[in-house]
Amino acid sequence: MANTPDYSWPPMEKRKVIGKPYKRVDGPQKASGRAKYSSDLKPKDLLFGVYLTCPHAHARVTSIDTSAAEKTAGVKAVHVVSPAGTEIQWAGTEIAAVAATTEEIARDAVRKIKVDYEVLPHLVKDDDLSKAGARAKAAGEKVVGDPDKAFQEAEAVSEGQYGIPVVTHCCLETHGQVIQWQGDQVSVFPSVQDVTHYAGSLAPNIKVPIPNFHVKQDHIGGAFGSKFAADSWGLVGANLSQKAGGRPVKLFLDRDTDQMIAGNRPSAYAKIRIAGKKDGTVTGWQSESWATGGFTGGGTPPLPYIIDTIPNQRLHHTSVAVNAGPSRAWRAPNNQQASYLTCSALEDFAAKIGMDPMEVFQKNVAYAPTARVETYRYQLQKAAEIADWKKLWHPRGQGGSGPVKRGLGLGFSAWGGGGHQSQCRTTINPDGSVLVEIGTQDLGTGTRTIIIQVAAETLGLTMGAIKLAIGSSDLPPDSASGGSTTVGGVSSSTRKSSMNALVKLFEAAAPALGAQPEQLEAVDGHIRMKDNPSKTLTWQAACRKLGTTKISEMGENQQRNPMGLNASGVAGIQVADVSVDTETGLVKINRYVAVQDCGLIINPRLSESVCYGAIIMGIGTALFEERVMDEQTGLMLNPDMEFYKLAGIDDIGEIIVHLDIREENDKRGVIGLGEPPAIAICAAVGNAVANAIGVRVPNIPMTPDRVLAALEGRNA
Amino acid sequence: MKGRCLVSSRKDPEPPAKPKAGFSRRGFIRGVGLGSGAVGTGLLEREAVAAPAPANVVGPGPVPITLTINGKPVNVTVEPRVTLLDAMRNYLDLTGAKRVCDRGTCGACTVILAGKTVYSCSVLAIDAQGKNIETIEGLATGNNLHPVSAAFVNHDAQQCGYCTAGFVMAAKGFIDKHPNPTMEDVKHGLGGNLCRCGTYMGIRQAVVEAAKEMKGGKNG
Ligand code: FES
Ligand code: FES
């Protein structure tokens, strides 16, 4: 066929598989405990790797003696990560690692390693900029319009200070891998959100060519932006394996180490002033913000978030370097922080002028990117409706006369998306079986399921007729699952490869139907003529026409040329409805409403699950999660899960997700939802708490002590 | 404060052992009669090895033990300090239960021990002898999912799935004791397990549905 096939998505009303709430295809595997994660694997001759980590926030290794560990029976390899002379910049840094025949022996051996440190001064806290000294690096000032004049002429000025601390990813499966380096071959079972490029992140460090890597991952126990590469544990594991004569080594971080070094979200603090009119229009913005992303600083929230065309602005940001583990991408990097800071300030402005924040937000979303203004207006209305805003909202501090006060709060979000670079191969065999292959990964978002849906839809088959292979470096290359780009990428490449394969099948079947290939369509397990459906062959019969030659066709999504199959850019509005006990300081979520903009939805059930998950994670960060650092010792006080608290099943209230599935949205193509709904939760919860108790609790998480302190401040 | 601690205690970690046949670290320490000052040091273990051990004392080296897993006896040789979780995962290739916090907070390692829901990371393997240990691997019959697992699939009560096996076992243990749970009961009863992906909405529905299904006598 000379013509390129038409890859565009079938119209909504014609879809048979896409858009339907199929159950996730790997659900039975997971719910029966049969799904094998890399951390479950136990290949023959497996050695267990254990790390020794640094107990100081800032120190120099002066000597290290591993001889006793090496002599321990059962120890097969010892690898020094930080030799004498190394300057350590955060506690938990890897010093050495041991591989032994049992985990118990490895742990004993690690304890026998003697390390001397010269302890150096540290800074671990960033909530008070005045204490940061030389560790603070100002990024310079940015001025838009004439902020001084705006503030002088303002009818009202509000101000506040807000903060959101460092939180960790806390994936339930810690970082690590099972790895075997034998001769010039490396086999790895990692826990990674980029199977295709894993080898590339390790190969140069051990000088093994990328094609000699065999990377495989069936399932992964959480990533959220913290597992993009092989990391130092990949390298250390490889070294241990090689030293042990090529035996496979399992090296996964212990929970405490994972909490300390394997990823966190940067903090963000800001003093913000808003100038505006009594009708709610903001005319000026001034912010002094600071943040830390660890020793290299980092973390610059884009302020003012979304409403970034406020005509007069003065912005000042400072990055603080602390002796604590480095930040990593965290499910919409910098957006939660920016959303929290901006929405808090906007709500404080509304309170200052005595207006309903719903109206103030309505007014000021005019400053959002033009293409999204109407979406926000619509979403604000919709969210108000679902959350019963008119009935339940009250001016600040009028949350009832009893000790438990109820309040409502708003937050907004924006995210990109698009489809990442992705290649897919669809094979149609003469016996009618179909294999789809793609080197991607399923982080629990439902990637497997949606790939099969797209292939089934395209080929006119049922879900069960498609076999799928993902999670291996031997498969066609895909990209990292990051930036909510996976669903866009894999759905588009699958659509194309399956369409390309189908065209070949049409060519093989056409003579038997006395038709031209382009006159055919694939519907309900048949290949038939479009305008004469009685001219038909079953799928099996059509495939038999292939003789002994299978069809194997590639399809590629090019990030820069999505061809209408996927798109970028979604808005979101969320409303929290909370009750706050003013005697105990306890915040309870009653109801949480999310109105989420979206594109073409391949599976509404899985999309909804992703939204729930994002919101629940956000509730955790709004109410419980915080990396607590000890000023004296420089250590993280809660590198665990009892004091680093995640939200539990009874902490989340009722969650209502309204996915904005409409034809005009559908036409945009597929847009990922991993990150968009995770952005606005701290903002909405913080504003709801302020609305309930009549006073701003400046810092997330809204723990009882912080709530009580804020209340006392008001009373004092 | 959150109710986590309270809720966790509802899980009733195994009552500390009557040192049965000396198969416990505690019994071992008592047996060699060391002063409390040395407890927990490496010194203790080295001296202890050298000391002539009373006949009913084992360890610290590997000892053969027999676990009853899903009704079947399983022999394994582990050091007395090895947890039930590690014995299953590292020695027996039973990897449904996951090691996540390794200290009794998250429930990813949940199994049912002698009818009681426990965190297997907080039970020593040697102490689990002589009791039936129900694990996720024993739930399905052939290709038929257990009603709890099936309900988790039906309500999409899983994303990455790393917490799921623990949740399924906790839910099974909960339903065994509370055959007619309300949604409120479920929210309290499953408070000893954590999920990072945020699958609680589905889990709530799944547990209520599974309870109904199991009462229907389809499975037990
Ligand atoms: S691993 Fe046992 S409770 Fe977390
Ligand atoms: S499904 Fe991922 S932790 Fe629960």
Q: Sorting pLDDT into bands at 50, 70 and 90, what band is B215?
A: confident
Please name the residue that has the structure tokens 């979406």.
A375
- Which residue intervals of A365-485 are DSSP H helices? 370-386, 389-392, 447-459
Residues of chain A with CATH 3.90.1170.50: 43-121+175-252
> CB A389: neighbour CB atoms within 10 A?
20
Contacts of B93 in chain A (CB under 8 A): 42
Pocket test for ligand 1, best of B11, B95, B100 (most atoms within 8 A of CB): B100
| Residue range A295-349, pLDDT digits in tens | 987 778 999 999 999 999 999 999 999 999 999 999 999 999 999 999 999 999 9
- Burial label, A165 (beta-carbon count in 10 A; 0-12, 13-18, 19+): buried
Please name the residue that has the structure tokens 């009704």.
B71
A71 at interface of B, judged by CB pairs closer than 8 A: no
Cα(B96) to centroid(ligand 2), Å:
13
Cα(B198) to centroid(ligand 2), Å:
7
Comparing CB atoms, the residue among B108, B135, B198 nearest residue A612 is B198
The Cα B103–Cα A365 span in angstroms is 47
Please name the residue that has the structure tokens 């917490």.
B163
pLDDT, average across residues A701-708? 97
The Cα B147–Cα A270 span in angstroms is 51
Q: Kindly state the tokens that stand for B67.
A: 């676990």
Pocket test for ligand 2, best of B106, B163, B167 (most atoms within 8 A of CB): B163
pLDDT, average across residues A183-206? 97
Pairing of strands B116-119, B110-113: antiparallel
User: Which ligand ends up closest to the CA of B4?
Assistant: 1
B196 at interface of A, judged by CB pairs closer than 8 A: yes
Q: Do B98 and A704 touch (CB under 8 A)?
A: no
Q: Do B105 and A32 touch (CB under 8 A)?
A: no
Residue A284 · residue A147 · CB < 8 Å: yes
Q: Sorting pLDDT into bands at 50, 70 and 90, what band is A200?
A: very high
Contacts of B204 in chain A (CB under 8 A): 649
A37 at interface of B, judged by CB pairs closer than 8 A: yes
- Domain A43-121+175-252 matching CATH 3.40.50.300: the answer reads no
Closest CA to B150 of A446, A29, A444, A649: A29
Cα(B196) to centroid(ligand 2), Å:
5
**Of A26-35, B1-10, B174-183, the least confident:** B1-10
Comparing CB atoms, the residue among A32, A172, A655 nearest residue B98 is A172
**ipTM of the shown complex:** 0.97
So what's the pLDDT on residue B143?
Answer: 86
CATH number of A264-418+567-711: 3.30.365.10
In A155-296, which ranges are E strands?
Answer: 156-164, 167-168, 176-182, 185-190, 213-215, 249-252, 264-265, 268-276, 282-291
So what's the pLDDT on residue A299?
Answer: 79
The CATH fold of domain A12-35+419-557: Aldehyde Oxidoreductase; domain 4 (3.30.365)
The CATH fold of domain B140-220: DNA polymerase; domain 1 (1.10.150)
Residue A181 · residue A212 · CB < 8 Å: no
B42 at interface of A, judged by CB pairs closer than 8 A: yes
Sheet with strand A587-596: strands edge to edge: A404-417, A568-581, A587-596, A654-659
**Among protein residues, the one whose CA lies closest to atom 3 of ligand 1:** B104
Interface of B with A in 141-170 (CB under 8 A): 145-146, 149-150, 152-154, 156-165, 168
Q: What's A495's DSSP letter?
A: H
Pocket test for ligand 1, best of B9, B10, B95, B102 (most atoms within 8 A of CB): B102
Comparing CB atoms, the residue among B102, B160, B168 nearest residue A31 is B168
Closest CA to A419 of A105, A81, A7, A52: A7
Q: Kindly state the tokens that stand for A659.
A: 């996915």
Continuous segment of H or E residues that includes residue B38: none
CB pairs under 8 A between A and B: 193
Distances (CA, A) of A34 to A27, A171, A224, B93, B145: 10, 20, 23, 11, 11
Q: Is the N-terminal amide bond of A147 cis, ω within 30° of 0?
A: no
Nearest-atom index, ligand 2, CA of B158: 1
Residues 6 or more apart in contact with residue A686 via CB below 8 angstroms: A162, A340, A343, A344, A409, A622, A696, A697, A700, A702
Residues of chain A with CATH 3.30.365.10: 12-35+419-557, 264-418+567-711
- Which residue intervals of chain B are DSSP H helices? 4-9, 25-32, 42-50, 84-86, 147-154, 164-177, 183-189, 200-215
B108 at interface of A, judged by CB pairs closer than 8 A: yes
Q: Do B161 and A170 touch (CB under 8 A)?
A: no
So what's the pLDDT on residue A436?
Answer: 98
Comparing CB atoms, the residue among A23, A255, A655 nearest residue B154 is A23
A15 at interface of B, judged by CB pairs closer than 8 A: no
Percent of residues, chain A, with pLDDT higher than 90: 97
Q: Sorting pLDDT into bands at 50, 70 and 90, what band is B32?
A: very low
The Cα A713–Cα B161 span in angstroms is 44
So what's the pLDDT on residue A425?
Answer: 98
Superfamily of domain B62-138: Beta-grasp domain (3.10.20.30)
Q: Say how many Å lie between the first and final Cα of chain A, rounded.
A: 80
Residue A435 · residue A465 · CB < 8 Å: no
Please name the residue that has the structure tokens 């723990």.
A703
Q: Kindly state the tokens that stand for A469.
A: 């292979």
Average pLDDT taken over every residue of chain A: 97
User: What pTM does this model have?
Assistant: 0.93
Q: Sorting pLDDT into bands at 50, 70 and 90, what band is A397?
A: confident
So what's the pLDDT on residue A714?
Answer: 56
The domain limits of chain B are 62-138, 140-220
Contacts of A646 in chain B (CB under 8 A): 194-196
A649 at interface of B, judged by CB pairs closer than 8 A: yes
Interface of A with B in 98-117 (CB under 8 A): 102-104, 108, 111
- Which residue intervals of A481-594 are DSSP H helices? 486-513, 539-544
pLDDT, average across residues A388-397? 95
The Cα A443–Cα A423 span in angstroms is 18
The Cα A465–Cα A432 span in angstroms is 9
